[in-house]
Amino acid sequence: MTDTHPMPPAPVAAPIEKVSIIVSKGSLEGIYPALIMANGARNEGIEANLFFTFFGMDAVHKERHDHIKVATVGNPGLHVPTMVGGIPGASALMTKYMEKQIEKLDFPGIAEFIDMIHDTGAGLYACLASVDLFGMERDDLIDELDDIITVGEFYDMAAGGQIIFT
Amino acid sequence: MPTQTLAGTSVEVNDEGFFVDAEQWTKEMAPEIAEDIGVPTPLTDRHWTVIDLMRKEYFDKGTGPTVRKISKLSDVTTKELFVLFPKGPAKLAAMVAGIPKPKGCI
């Protein structure tokens, strides 16, 4: 007996149309990759929204977004012993070094990068629960921020796309 | 390698539709490519500012510029770039300019 069943067609990978990227950490290494992902998405013609929550909100905080630091403690990938990373000034020093590298490559700093991402048409949103938790006001956050939204509104916005949590 | 006929001439493109040989491109092909990939036509002087820059950078540096580079090297802002070439400015501008896809993450 011969098997006459045709082979099912190989699934064609559907292109990504939309990404919603959640930024929950306030360190340079927590924020920067998310910004690269969002900016890269827009440059590929993919719709992108950034949702800042918890410490990630520092990235859109007027007074803090220019002072984002590298975590030198509890960061094994940095290859600096935690005790050394904990010495006062270690994080500032490492941040300076990283910022120099970023500048050398002609990459934007965090504040400039967020401006740029806003100009690409990506949405920038802060999490209402975090704003309440940290006792922040709308005025504490940068003007480019589109809105402060609830988690429900976030899911509505993310519907039909991919969600990335960093 | 697929070929495509533009402005009456057959050119080689890769699977994504980027030119394999930027020398095969002529200005007359640009409007036709633009229409094919959803870039608003007719092409304006502002489009041409970007297209000329894409080619110049490609021939100088071996790769076309990213969105950030385009806005730094010209007076075309990021916002305007997304109006001129809505679905991915560097990528679409490279296609219209007949150069390979620009490499770069930012």
Looking up tokens 């491109």 gives B25
Smallest CA-to-CA distance from B35 within B85, B77, B102 is with B85
CA distance B35 to B30: 9
CA angle, corner B92, sides to B88 and B95, nearest 5? 155
pLDDT at A2: 56
pTM for the whole structure: 0.91
The answer to whether the Cβ–Cβ distance between B87 and A116 falls below 8 Å is no
Chain A closest-CA separation from residue B18 CA (Å)? 14
pLDDT at A113: 96
CA distance A64 to B98: 43
The answer to whether the Cβ–Cβ distance between B82 and A36 falls below 8 Å is no
CA atoms lying within 13 Å on the CB side of residue B91:
17
Q: Summarize the confidence of residues B60-75 as an average pLDDT.
A: 95
Look up the ipTM and state it.
Answer: 0.91
Looking up tokens 């002529």 gives B26
Tens-digit pLDDT profile for residues A90-146: 999 999 999 999 999 889 999 999 999 999 999 999 999 999 999 999 999 999 999
User: Looking at the DSSP assignment, which residues form a beta bridge with residue A126?
Assistant: A52, A148
> Two tokens at B15?
């699977």
Q: For testing the chain B interface, which of A43, A112, A119 should be mutated: the one with the most B CBs within 10 Å?
A: A43
Chain A closest-CA separation from residue B16 CA (Å)? 13
Q: Does B91 touch chain A (CB under 8 A)?
A: yes
Q: Summarize the confidence of residues A81-87 as an average pLDDT.
A: 92
Residues in B closer than 8 angstroms to A112, CB to CB, are: none
pLDDT at A17: 96
A110: number of Cβ within 10 Å:
21
Do the strands A123-127 and B3-6 form a parallel or antiparallel pair, or are they unpaired? unpaired
CA angle, corner A60, sides to A58 and A65, nearest 5? 60
Amino acid residing at A83: M
Amino acid residing at A37: M
| H or E element at residue A82 | helix A82-85
Closest to A43 (Cβ–Cβ): which among B77, B79, B89?
Answer: B89
pLDDT at A7: 75
> Two tokens at B12?
């080689």
Residues in B closer than 8 angstroms to A40, CB to CB, are: 105-106
Tens-digit pLDDT profile for residues A33-74: 999 999 999 999 999 999 999 999 999 999 999 999 999 998
pLDDT at A6: 74
Residues in B closer than 8 angstroms to A144, CB to CB, are: none
> Two tokens at B34?
């633009």
pLDDT at B11: 94
Q: Does B101 touch chain A (CB under 8 A)?
A: no
At residue B1 the predicted structure's pLDDT band, cuts being 50, 70 and 90, is confident
Tens-digit pLDDT profile for residues A20-35: 999 999 999 999 999 9
> Two tokens at A96?
């300076």
| H or E element at residue B9 | strand B9-12
Q: Summarize the confidence of residues B12-27 as an average pLDDT.
A: 94
